[in-house]
Chain A
Amino acid sequence: MGISPAVLAGVPTFAEPAKRTTRASASVGKIEVLNPKGFPPAIKLFPMAPRVASLDGKTVYLVSDGFAGAHRFLEQMAIWFHKNMPSVKTVYRLKAGGLTGDDPKLWAEIKANGAAMIMAYGH
Chain B
Amino acid sequence: MGIPTAPIVTIAFEQLAKTNAAQHGVPHLRVCFTPHPMTNKTDAEMYQVLEGKDPVTGKPFMPEVIDALTKPLTAAEKQTGETRPSTGPETYSDTPDNLQRFYADNNMTDFQPIILPTEEKVEWMLKGTSHKPDEIVGKMSAGVPSAFPPWSFNVRQVAINAVMAGAQPEFFPAILALASTGQTAIFSSTSSFAHMAVINGPFRDKVKMNYGIGALGPFNDANATIGRAWTILSKNLANAGLPGFTYMGTTGTNFNYNNMCCAETEDALPAGWQPLHVRHGFKPTDSTVSVFTGWSLTNVCYFGLPYHEMITHWLTHYFSTSNFSAMLVLDPTVAADIKAHGFDSQDAFRDYLVKNTKTPAWLYWQRRDKEMALAKQGVEPYASYLKMGPDADIPVSRFVPRRFPGMPENAPLPNTIEMIVMGGSTNTYWLGGDFRYTVTASIDKWV
A residues lining the B interface (CB < 8 Å): 1-3, 5-16, 18-21, 23, 25-26, 29-55, 60, 67-70, 72-73, 75-77, 79-80, 84-85, 98-102, 107, 110-111, 114-123
- A31 to chain B minimum Cβ distance, whole angstroms, is 6
Tell me the dominant secondary structure on chain A's binding face: loop
Q: Chain B residues near A31 (CB, 8 Å)?
A: 93-96, 99, 116, 118
Binds A, one of B38-46, B278-286, B295-303, B376-384: B38-46
CB-CB under 8 A for A51 and B4, given A10-B246, A19-B93 = yes
B22 within 8 A of A: yes
Q: Chain B residues near A7 (CB, 8 Å)?
A: 15, 19, 22, 242, 245
What is the CA–CA distance of A26 and B119 in the complex, to the nearest angstrom?
Answer: 14
The reply to whether B73 and A107 form a contact with Cβ atoms under 8 Å apart is: no
Q: Chain A residues near B38 (CB, 8 Å)?
A: 69-70, 73, 121
The 5 A-B residue pairs with the shortest CB-CB distance, nearest first, are A122-B9, A38-B237, A10-B239, A38-B153, A37-B87
B122 within 8 A of A: yes
Q: Chain B residues near A36 (CB, 8 Å)?
A: 103, 108, 117, 157, 160-161, 164, 232-233, 236-237
B residues lining the A interface (CB < 8 Å): 1-10, 12-13, 15-19, 22-31, 34, 36-41, 43, 46-47, 49-51, 62, 65-66, 69-73, 77-96, 99, 101-103, 105-108, 116-119, 122, 140, 144, 146-147, 149-153, 157, 160-161, 164, 190, 232-233, 236-239, 242, 245-246, 405-406
Q: Chain A residues near B6 (CB, 8 Å)?
A: 116-119
The reply to whether A35 and B50 form a contact with Cβ atoms under 8 Å apart is: no
Q: Chain A residues near B41 (CB, 8 Å)?
A: 69, 73
Q: Taking CB as reference atom, which chain B residue is nearest A5?
A: B85
Q: For B102, give its contact among A2, A15, A110 (CB under 8 Å).
A: A15
Number of A-B contacts (CB under 8 A): 305
Q: Chain B residues near A116 (CB, 8 Å)?
A: 3-6, 69
The reply to whether B86 and A32 form a contact with Cβ atoms under 8 Å apart is: no
The reply to whether B117 and A47 form a contact with Cβ atoms under 8 Å apart is: no
The reply to whether A39 and B152 form a contact with Cβ atoms under 8 Å apart is: yes
A to B CB contacts below 8 Å, 6 in the list: A32-B118, A40-B151, A48-B30, A75-B43, A100-B146, A123-B36
What is the CA–CA distance of A13 and B246 in the complex, to the nearest angstrom?
Answer: 15
Q: Chain A residues near B102 (CB, 8 Å)?
A: 14-16
What is the CA–CA distance of A14 and B92 in the complex, to the nearest angstrom?
Answer: 12
CB-CB under 8 A for A11 and B88, given A68-B39, A118-B65, A121-B38 = yes
CB-CB under 8 A for A44 and B25, given A10-B242, A69-B41 = yes
- B398 to chain A minimum Cβ distance, whole angstroms, is 20
CB-CB under 8 A for A46 and B80, given A26-B93, A35-B90 = yes
Extra inter-chain contacts (7) besides given A36-B237, A80-B51, A122-B16, CB under 8 Å? A1-B18, A10-B246, A11-B88, A35-B87, A49-B4, A77-B62, A115-B4
Q: Chain B residues near A47 (CB, 8 Å)?
A: 73, 77-80
Q: Chain A residues near B24 (CB, 8 Å)?
A: 43, 46
Q: Taking CB as reference atom, which chain A residue is nearest B179?
A: A38
What is the CA–CA distance of A1 and B5 in the complex, to the nearest angstrom?
Answer: 16
Q: Taking CB as reference atom, which chain A residue is nearest B34?
A: A121
What is the CA–CA distance of A37 and B149 in the complex, to the nearest angstrom?
Answer: 15
Q: Chain A residues near B65 (CB, 8 Å)?
A: 118
Q: Chain B residues near A107 (CB, 8 Å)?
A: 1, 3
What is the CA–CA distance of A33 and B91 in the complex, to the nearest angstrom?
Answer: 5
What is the CA–CA distance of A82 and B446 in the complex, to the nearest angstrom?
Answer: 63
The reply to whether A8 and B19 form a contact with Cβ atoms under 8 Å apart is: yes
- B172 to chain A minimum Cβ distance, whole angstroms, is 15
- A81 to chain B minimum Cβ distance, whole angstroms, is 9
Q: Chain B residues near A51 (CB, 8 Å)?
A: 4, 69-73
The reply to whether A121 and B8 form a contact with Cβ atoms under 8 Å apart is: yes
Q: Chain B residues near A38 (CB, 8 Å)?
A: 87, 140, 151-153, 157, 236-239
Q: Chain A residues near B15 (CB, 8 Å)?
A: 7
